[in-house]
């Protein structure tokens, strides 16, 4: 175990005056580091400050584009911003922070090399801490969920889900067993927030288009079910637009079930609280988020929902030199009518909080006054598939094509870097001229399988395949998995 405090020397060979450690390279982490790069130009150049970003992936994911990545409207690599290019004046460490001892101003983290090194987590000292590890899927103890559920928070999940959905059409097309076909063509989404509704809307649209290219699968054969525990969906666009979205989805033959919960998905059968049962190979879980478990491994104050309690200036309450924002932070909503409200976990707040956070850290290092974060939620836009959308922004309500167009314009203006904007716009333009791609590259998830078979090894099992059925089944291995 290596416990030594890592404290890199700057170019002049002296230790920097202030090391700012940013934990997380998502919305808050990347935009805060970007702001600090700008605000602390002089200090970074002279070596009086340095910024270290520790994050598990070398890229920031623009999550609002995940549904379009799943539908194939945007390439996965254009949904992410490479941190090393965006943050040339920061040190980016690809790793995961395991714990923070703020009293000692140290964090322990592992990297991809940690297990090979056999030295255990490294320790890094800091002067200022930005804790922005975001959130993870909020799951419930539903039987079978851990084995069969599919999340929708990362670009890998979005691409995996796209491949999986197309693979189900291939399975349905090639089987003679009606039960297998029925399960393959049934898609259950749990959670009616924007992640679930947009993912379902985009994928249903894509699958309906793809089905037209199969000789024996018709778009009407596909069964899509949205399960929502409350009495409405898409609360982000308000009740009226939420009701419109239900009508729009039902008009597309999507089975929207309100006040219903998923009770089990064991043995690939989705059992709902209204008593219905759907054999299915696809259960997508988008029923909300909870703060990153890292927060519990710190000595910083948390609220009853496990978020860091923060002041309106985005400082962690009662913990000098610790800062937080985004999904991991309970930030007072100073624009709310009722006192005690905190900002909702969304990108709209995260990106704006990051700007204030960067400014406040720079101000604090210079002994200048801090600014409180204030932003009144302006509403939301959501895509429901190609040319379909819903929006409620600045009091204006839009439906259908205008809402979808607004969704694209808004997100194009928000996606980081000019480079990404140009690539996304090019892709959208090209997909307007040519039709969508409808192939599944699921085998990309098992790239060595073919070679291992050729070399005489046993390829790894396909994680999406059905579990082995028992001793009476044909024991000969299927090298290609279920597809």
Ligand X SMILES: Cc1cc2nc3c(=O)[nH]c(=O)nc-3n(C[C@H](O)[C@H](O)[C@H](O)COP(=O)(O)OP(=O)(O)OC[C@H]3O[C@@H](n4cnc5c(N)ncnc54)[C@H](O)[C@@H]3O)c2cc1C
Interacting residues with ligand X (CB under 6 A)? 23-29, 54-57, 63-64, 66, 96-97, 132-134, 152-153, 194-195, 292, 294, 326-328, 345-348, 350
For the CB of residue 153, give the shortest distance to ligand X in the complex, in Å: 4
- Give me the least distance between CB of 318 and ligand X, in Å please: 21
Measure Cα distances from 247 to 238, 302, 385, 400 in Å.
15, 40, 14, 12
d(CA 257, CA 361): 46
> How deeply is 208 buried, as exposed, middle or buried, from its count of CB atoms within 10 A (0-12, 13-18, 19+)?
middle
Under 8 Å between Cβ of 435 and 415? no
Q: How far apart are CA 105 and CA 125, in angstroms?
A: 6
CA atoms of 259 and 237, how far apart (whole Å): 19
- The distance of closest approach from Cβ of residue 39 to ligand X in the complex, given in angstroms and rounded to an integer, is 19
Query: Could you tell me the smallest distance in angstroms from the CB atom of residue 421 to ligand X?
Result: 17
Task: Work out how close the CB of 453 gets to ligand X at its nearest, in angstroms, rounded to a whole number.
Answer: 34
Task: Give the DSSP letter string of 149-168.
Answer: EE--SSHHHHHHHHHHHHHH
Please answer whether residues 43 and 50 qualify as being in contact, where contact means their C-beta atoms are separated by less than 8 angstroms: no
Question: Residue 55 pairs with which residues in a beta bridge?
Answer: 94
- The nearer residue to ligand X, 100 or 169, going by C-beta atoms, is 100
Give the pairing of strands 18-23 and 49-55. Answer: parallel
Taking the least distance from each CB to ligand X, the nearer of 278 and 404 is 404
Q: Which is nearer to ligand X, 376 or 433 (CB)?
A: 376
In angstroms, give the least distance from the CB of 79 to ligand X: 10
Shortest separation between residue 358's beta carbon and ligand X, angstroms: 13
**Contact indicator for 323, 360 with CB cutoff of 8 Å:** yes
Q: Are 50 and 87 in contact (CB under 8 A)?
A: no
Distance CA 350, CA 270 (A): 35
CB of 16 to ligand X, least distance (A): 21
CB of 64 to ligand X, least distance (A): 4
Question: Residue 56: which of 155, 144, 141 has the closest Cα?
Answer: 155
Decide: residue 176, CB within 10 A, 0-12 exposed, 13-18 middle, 19+ buried.
Answer: exposed
Question: Which residue in this structure is represented by tokens 């598990």?
Answer: 56
Nearer to ligand X, 170 or 327 (CB): 327
Closer by beta carbon to ligand X, 142 or else 294: 294
Query: Smaller CB distance to ligand X: residue 110 or 280?
Result: 110
Among 20, 74, 7, which Cα is nearest to 321's? 20
CA dist 36 and 20 (Å) reads 9
Place of tokens 């997508």: 284
Residue 330, CB half-sphere, CA atoms under 13 Å: how many? 16
Nearer to ligand X, 61 or 186 (CB): 61
Q: Which is nearer to ligand X, 25 or 121 (CB)?
A: 25
Q: Please, which residue, 281 or 411, has the CB nearer to ligand X?
A: 411
Indicate the residue whose CB is closest to ligand X: 26
Give, as one character, the DSSP assignment of residue 314: S
Which residue, 17 or 75, is less far from ligand X as judged by CB? Answer: 75
């Amino acid at each position: 175990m290596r416990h030594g405090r890592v404290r890199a020397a700057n170019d002049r060979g002296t230790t920097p005056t202030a090391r700012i450690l940013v934990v997380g390279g998502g919305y808050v982490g990347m935009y805060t580091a970007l702001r600090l790069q700008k605000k602390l130009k002089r200090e970074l150049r002279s070596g009086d400050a340095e910024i270290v970003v520790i994050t598990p992936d070398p890229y920031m994911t623009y999550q609002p584009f995940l549904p379009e990545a799943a539908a194939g409207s945007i390439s996965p690599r254009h949904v992410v911003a490479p941190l090393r290019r965006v943050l040339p004046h920061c040190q980016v460490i690809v790793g995961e922070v395991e714990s923070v001892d703020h009293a000692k101003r140290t964090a322990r983290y592992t990297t991809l090399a940690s297990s090979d090194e056999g030295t255990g987590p490294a320790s890094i000292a800091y002067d200022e801490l930005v804790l922005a590890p975001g959130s993870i899927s909020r799951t419930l103890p539903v039987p079978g969920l851990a084995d069969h559920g599919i999340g929708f928070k990362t670009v890998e999940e979005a691409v995996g889900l796209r491949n999986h959905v197309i693979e189900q059409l291939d399975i349905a097309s090639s089987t003679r067993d009606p039960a297998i076909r029925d399960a393959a063509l049934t898609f259950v989404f749990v959670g009616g927030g924007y992640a679930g509704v947009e993912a379902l809307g985009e994928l249903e649209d894509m699958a309906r288009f793809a089905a037209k290219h199969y000789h024996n699968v018709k778009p009407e054969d596909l069964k899509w079910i949205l399960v929502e525990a409350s009495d409405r969906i898409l609360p982000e666009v308000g009740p009226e637009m939420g009701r419109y979205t239900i009508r729009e989805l039902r008009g597309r033959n999507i089975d929207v079930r309100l006040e219903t919960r998923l009770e089990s998905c064991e043995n690939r059968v989705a059992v709902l609280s209204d008593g219905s049962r759907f054999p299915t190979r696809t259960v997508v879980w988008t029923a909300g988020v909870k703060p990153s478990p890292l927060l519990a491994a710190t000595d910083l104050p948390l609220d009853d929902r496990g978020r860091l309690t923060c002041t309106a200036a985005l400082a962690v309450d009662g913990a000098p030199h610790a800062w937080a924002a985004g999904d991991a932070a309970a930030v007072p909503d100073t624009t709310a009518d009722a006192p005690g409200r905190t900002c909702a976990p969304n990108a709209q707040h995260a990106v704006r909080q990051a700007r204030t956070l960067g400014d406040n850290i720079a101000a604090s290092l210079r002994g200048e006054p801090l600014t409180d974060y204030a932003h009144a939620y302006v509403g939301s836009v959501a895509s429901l598939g190609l040319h379909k959308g819903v929006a409620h922004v600045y009091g204006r309500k839009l439906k259908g094509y205008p809402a979808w167009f607004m969704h694209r314009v808004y997100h194009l203006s928000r996606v980081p870097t000019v480079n990404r904007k140009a690539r996304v716009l090019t892709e959208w333009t090209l997909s307007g001229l040519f039709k969508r791609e409808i192939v599944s590259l699921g085998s990309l998830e098992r790239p060595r399988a073919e070679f291992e078979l050729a070399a005489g090894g046993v390829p790894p099992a396909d994680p999406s395949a059905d579990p082995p059925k028992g001793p009476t089944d044909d024991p000969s291995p299927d090298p290609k998995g279920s597809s």
